[in-house]
């Protein structure tokens, strides 16, 4: 990559940095995060509804004996 004098880091240092954890205080942005809302939320919700409906349809439902 380069040397310290040019401001670039070496390969070994880069490998170490790739395993560092995220900065404390950094949080995930959810779908409805204000003006940066996910543009694909409508399609995502459609696929989620389809996925859950298919799971419910394919699941084998049985009544538990002795349970009212």
| Integer Cα distance of 35 and 38 in angstroms | 9
Q: Could you tell me the pLDDT band of residue 1, with boundaries at 50, 70 and 90?
A: very low
| Integer Cα distance of 62 and 46 in angstroms | 28
| Integer Cα distance of 54 and 56 in angstroms | 5
Tell me the three state secondary structure of residue 9.
coil
pLDDT tens profile 19-61: 655 555 555 656 566 666 777 888 988 999 999 999 999 988 8
More confident position, 38 or 63:
63
pLDDT at 46: 94
Counting every residue written for the chain, the total comes to 68
């Amino acid at each position: 990559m380069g040397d310290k004098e040019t401001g670039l880091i070496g390969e070994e240092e880069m490998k170490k940095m790739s395993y560092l954890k995220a900065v404390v205080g950094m949080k995930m942005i959810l779908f409805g995060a204000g003006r940066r809302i996910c543009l694909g939320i409508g399609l995502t919700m459609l696929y989620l509804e389809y996925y859950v409906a298919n799971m419910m349809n394919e699941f084998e439902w049985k009544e538990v004996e002795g349970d009212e």
